[in-house]
Amino acid sequence: MEEEFSDVMSDADFEIFRHKLATISTEGKEVMAKLGVSTPLRSEDSGTGIYTSRGDMAAAAAGVYFHALTGQLPIKYTLKRWIDEPTVGIDDGDIFFSTDPIYGATHTPDQIVFMPVQSNGLLVGWVSAVAHQSEVGALEPGLSARAPNSFSDGLRLIPQKIGSNLELREDLVQSFGNMTRVPDEQVLDIKARVAACTRMRERLNSLIEDIGREEFIGALRRCVDDGRIQTQRRLREFNDGTYRSTVFIDGVGGDMGLQRVHCAVTKRDDRISVSLEGTSPQNPFAFNAYETMPLAALANPFFSYLLSDVPPSIGLLDQIDLDVPDGTILSASADAAVSCSLWPTFLLQVAAHICLTKMAFDSDHRDKLSAPQSANAVGGFGVGVNQHGLMAADLYVDPVNGSGGGARPDADGVDVFTGIWGNYMDTNDSEEVEIRGPYIKLYSRIARDAHGFGKFRGGSGQDTAYLAHKVPDVLMHGTMGFGTKFPVGPGIFGGYAGNTTPGAYITGSNAKELMENGEWQAPESTANLIEDQLLTGDYTFDYATYPTQMFTDGAVWMMIGAGGGGYGDALERDPEAVISDLRAGYTSERAVREIYQVVFDSKSFRIDMQETQKKREAAREQRKSLGKPFEEFMKTWANSSPPQHALEYFGDWPGEIS
């Protein structure tokens, strides 16, 4: 029936219809944000989608597209498993819920509510609302980077019915909450997702009444088909070829060690094949993803960049053939821990982004390319009794949602842009943090020297410190991520990578005493806080993923968002732009003089253009003097290797890639 009615609507009416779907999905996302409790929902680190009766994504709200894409899988599972099951079935007003990554969710915290849309007893579509949940009862609060297997990942529910006739089964919902450390948040956030789906369902029912049932069914299918047609047309405009990128990380969750994602994008006519051959094997911790994730992870580089002017649907990915070898960190076994599955997929997004940028460079679509965002987005969690005597859990979204954007061919990256996995989300509201959490923001800045230097610099991330506040006993705090030793956001065409993001915290600080006495002065940056020892206490510097710590009142922890990669040679950057960043506090004097080679007066900020030109020419000559013939370079390079202990999780070094 979908194909039968896919062409009954005029082109003009179809564009209006598709715009209405985008508006409806966006409204659903906003409802979820307004009614949700935990920070990921309220910051719109979420996705909402509208699907055909077969479960194919036809439209989605701007934001985290892979949330909407992974919403397909539990719908398709439900259609296959439950539609003819007498004890379950699919009826108008049913409410379904899923958290198991094997059946669609990216990891257990990304929980999916989905509902059927029916017209006169006929199934015509689906809606879903997906968002990260701050606490899911895993081995550690929030996310467990140290989880050894899937049984330590927290709440795992296959797609199942949790309500009928628009009413939730309260016994089931309360049971889900009982499996977590903060039951009330789990229960209320499920209801926020249901409200989002209910609103979208109501809007779609009104739309069906306006345009007709058959027209609605056909137009949903046309959204998918048109996405595929537009993608075919776009791909034909690029040169055929193979484009490669390899990205490395310095940790696997429960330990430090090297792993890599190798991505090769081959474009032929109107199809793309993506090979992940050479990617490291799954590790014994939680930095793994199931094979359902890689295709969905490609959504952001495709939907938000290469195909940013094409309305999102699963049709945009129909032209991709994906080859993922078994047993890698992106195709882990069913019993592998995947609590932190997003982090290896961040690597894939960076690698794929670089490949697509290379492909698009020699085309009329250079406006759609950029250097990548950084994958070393470090998240954190805090769980404890707050100042109101209530158990609270939260995810620190500032350093991840507040990452910098990659530099563009004609402009700098956006400061405090968004997380690498989406194109629209927000950071914590400081007042809400204080009201709900057992901690407050001590300060928040745009990070200094945290962007990739270049002709156009990457965007800077957010530099934030938190203070354990009015904690009656202890606060459980930990982090997850990588980027301790080196960044994972390469520059492109000569641009520098962004910053590193190690862990750092202070126990036994005098921050609250200074605040009570009116003596606290927020530092210009975390670097300033550390270098000048502005607080007393024990300073600890750690791996980006450090295990759960028991903090008492007054503890301080610092988290820096990752900066986007730079674009082009830093020696070609406009000196006026360099000094403008210095004045704003985004760039240090050291970077101005040593990286950008700009000569200026530190008091007046006046630039000596003539001396700057001379200094830059000298820097170029110095670069040339360091060059070697390729054969000579390879004699050393081919025999180089990281220390053996760093290769424990890497796989074969250097490994054969065809």
- Condensed to tens digits (0 to 9), the pLDDT of residues 319-347 reads 999 999 999 999 999 999 998 998 999 99
> How does residue 377 score in pLDDT terms, banded at 50, 70 and 90?
confident
Please give the Cα distance from 53 to 3 (Å, whole number): 12
Domain boundary among 538, 572, 606: 572
- pLDDT score for 5: 62
63 part of a folded domain: yes
**CB of 75 closer than 8 Å to CB of 223:** no
- Domain shared by 415 and 531, yes or no: yes
Number of structural domains the chain divides into: 3
> How does residue 514 score in pLDDT terms, banded at 50, 70 and 90?
very high
Residue 367 has pLDDT above 90, yes or no: no
528 part of a folded domain: yes
Domain boundary among 513, 547, 572: 572
- Domain shared by 624 and 534, yes or no: no
- Domain shared by 450 and 562, yes or no: yes
pLDDT digits (tens, 9 = 90+) for 4-62: 666 778 999 999 999 999 999 999 999 999 999 988 888 888 999 999 999 999 999 99
Look up the domain containing 481 and give its range.
376-572
Please give the Cα distance from 6 to 218 (Å, whole number): 4
Average confidence (pLDDT) over 58-78? 95
Q: What percent of the chain has pLDDT over 90?
A: 78
Domain boundary among 212, 229, 246: 229
Please give the Cα distance from 443 to 438 (Å, whole number): 16
Q: What is the pTM of this model?
A: 0.94
Mean pLDDT, all residues of the chain = 93
Q: Which token pair is 71?
A: 């919403």
pLDDT digits (tens, 9 = 90+) for 215-274: 999 999 999 999 999 999 999 999 999 999 999 999 998 899 999 999 999 999 999 999
Which residues share a beta bridge with 260?
248
- Domain shared by 523 and 577, yes or no: no
315 part of a folded domain: no
- Domain shared by 600 and 643, yes or no: yes
- Domain shared by 484 and 435, yes or no: yes
Nearest in space to 562 (alpha carbons), one of 452, 428, 454: 452
pLDDT: is 115 or 392 the higher one?
115
- From the DSSP assignment, how many helices (H) and strands (E) are in the chain? 18, 20
As a residue count, the chain comes to 658
> How does residue 397 score in pLDDT terms, banded at 50, 70 and 90?
confident
Nearest in space to 462 (alpha carbons), one of 581, 595, 590, 586: 586
Q: Count CB neighbours of 358 within 10 A.
A: 18
Please give the Cα distance from 310 to 313 (Å, whole number): 9
249 part of a folded domain: no
Nearest in space to 497 (alpha carbons), one of 375, 369, 324: 375
- Domain shared by 509 and 577, yes or no: no
- Domain shared by 555 and 580, yes or no: no
Residue 131 has pLDDT above 80, yes or no: yes
Determine the angle formed by the axes of helices 213-235 and 183-211, rounding to 10 degrees: 100
> How does residue 656 score in pLDDT terms, banded at 50, 70 and 90?
confident
Q: What is the DSSP letter of 275?
A: E
- Domain shared by 455 and 523, yes or no: yes
Q: How distant, in Å, are the alpha carbons of 138, 173, 179, 442, 536 from that of 184?
A: 16, 10, 11, 27, 37
- pLDDT score for 64: 92
Chain centre distance of CA 283: 21
- Domain shared by 57 and 74, yes or no: yes
- pLDDT score for 437: 82
Average confidence (pLDDT) over 547-568? 94
Q: Count CB neighbours of 409 within 10 A.
A: 19
